[in-house]
Structure 1
Amino acid sequence: MEKCLKLLLLLLLLSSGVMAQKIGFVDSEYVLNKHPEYKKIQEDLKALGNAWKKEAQNLEQEIKEMYNSLKAEEVLLTEEMYNERLEAIKEKEKEATAFNTRVFGIKGQYYQKQAELLQPLQSEIFDAIDKVAKRQGIAIMFDKAADLSMIYTDPVHDYSDFVLEELGLEENK
């Protein structure tokens, strides 16, 4: 019985200690959108993405022209010539698919470049969040923009503006 009482007392002490922990949240999307470097990164990524999209469109246009040319000359070609051209078109299609996968695929160049450009900014923001959490005595800090579902948040626990202040960015409401 004494062991049960001690265990119960220990659980009560631990639960009251957890209850006393201060929590807060940050909206990293809000912080990112306020950061001038983020806008520059977005512009750079958009320009790069547009250039690669144009290259992909050029490949598609080239394939379309090859098909149109084949269709127009079909009656003049021997079966062997027709099959050679058709094979060339299929190779060009494979090339276009490989390009799209290499550039825009799950681990493609576009996403690698995005990660490369965002990593220093994300590290800076994380460091600012860490400093704010320590200064404010926050034990648990959530990110409102992350996959974590927050069905209600009291703005009094929002430390996003403190993070902007830590980053040296003026908060514009």
Structure 2
Amino acid sequence: MKKLHSFLLGAAFLLSAPAAVAQKFGYVDSEFVMSKMPAYAQAQQELNTLSGNWQKEIESQKKDLDKLYRNYQVEEVLLTEPMKKKRQDEILKKEQDVKAYQNKIFGYEGQLFKKRQELTKPVQDQVFESIEKVAKKKQLGIVFDKAGDLTMLYTNPIHDYTEFVLEELGLASEDRNQPGQKGAVRTVTTPKTPAAETDAATDSDGSAAPASKTRQPTRSTNTRPASRKN
């Protein structure tokens, strides 16, 4: 969450200045807030569905590749050298195509990454706006994100403004004025990027293996609400 993480940069700047000592500060757990938002849960569900469908497509392509390889093994003794070379090239191209498609979907800035940004950005913006409103109402000069990269070794609940953000979003719990019991927070599972399982059968310099020897193509194996503050 780039905008939420910008709070950390602002905090670092303010803390480096002498005037920062007089600043009132607080922190918010953005992950906890988002886990309570129906729009975020819906976005994650859609991402999980898309991810599952894309993974099925990749598995189907890998089955086709495996079929090509098995057929080649069975018929290899009957093939001439030119025929072997042709079949090997077909398998090699299929391997490269599968790997390229997998990277296109699940790789860095692939389709899943872009779709996640598209679906979650409106929710992130809504959370940021609510944090900003709470910061202004409570006259906070610094707001940390407990779910961000900043390591918080100790947090005093008196500085926790997460519940106020939930209240701003209309998601505050009825018992928000009561001390909460510590425990694990249940969140929606973010789809994981499947590890690349198919490697292109190429030499170290990126070229296809020579056909002088029969090449065996690579087979794919398959809480927390704290006490309410005023």
> Is the TM-score greater than 0.5?
yes
1:25 aligns with 2:27: yes
Name which of structure 1's ranges 117-126 and 75-84 shifts more when overlaid on structure 2.
75-84
Of 77, 80, 98, the residue aligned with 1:78 is: 80
The SS at the match of 2:27 is strand
Of 37, 51, 54, the residue aligned with 1:52 is: 54
The CA distance in 1 between the partners of 2:172 and 2:154, in whole Å, is 26
The SS at the match of 2:171 is coil
The SS at the match of 2:47 is helix
Q: Which has the higher contact order (CA 8 A, sep 6+)?
A: 1
**For residue 124 of structure 1, what is the aligned residue in structure 2?**
126
- The alignment-based identity, stated in percent, is 43
Matches within 5 A, 1:1-173: 15=18, 17-171=19-173
CA offset at residue 53 of structure 1? 0.7
How much is the aligned-residue C-alpha RMSD, in angstroms? Answer: 1.3
Question: Is this contact kept in 1: 2:31–2:147, CA < 8 A?
Answer: yes
The SS at the match of 1:142 is strand
The SS at the match of 1:150 is coil
Structure 2 gaps, min length 5 = 1-16, 175-224, 226-230
Question: Is this contact kept in 1: 2:164–2:172, CA < 8 A?
Answer: no
Q: Supply the AA of the counterpart residue of 1:117.
A: L
Q: Supply the AA of the counterpart residue of 1:160.
A: T
Which structure: larger Rg? Answer: 1
The SS at the match of 1:141 is strand
Q: Normalising by the residue count of structure 2, what TM-score does the alignment of the two structures yield?
A: 0.67
The number of equivalent residue pairs is 159
Q: Supply the AA of the counterpart residue of 1:42.
A: Q
**For residue 217 of structure 2, what is the aligned residue in structure 1?**
none
Q: Supply the AA of the counterpart residue of 1:99.
A: Y
CA offset at residue 60 of structure 1? 1.2
The CA distance in 1 between the partners of 2:127 and 2:76, in whole Å, is 61
The CA distance in 2 between the partners of 1:103 and 1:164, in whole Å, is 34
CA offset at residue 20 of structure 1? 2.0
Q: Supply the AA of the counterpart residue of 2:169.
A: L
Q: Supply the AA of the counterpart residue of 2:66.
A: K
Structure 1 gaps, min length 5 = 1-13
Q: More helix by proportion, 1 or 2?
A: 1
Q: Supply the AA of the counterpart residue of 1:159.
A: Y
CA offset at residue 101 of structure 1? 1.1
Q: Deviations over 1:32-74 (max 9, x none)?
A: 1011111111110000000111111111111111100100111
CA offset at residue 18 of structure 1? 2.6
The CA distance in 2 between the partners of 1:83 and 1:98, in whole Å, is 22
**Which structure 1 residue ranges, 4+ long, deviate > 2 Å from structure 2?**
170-173
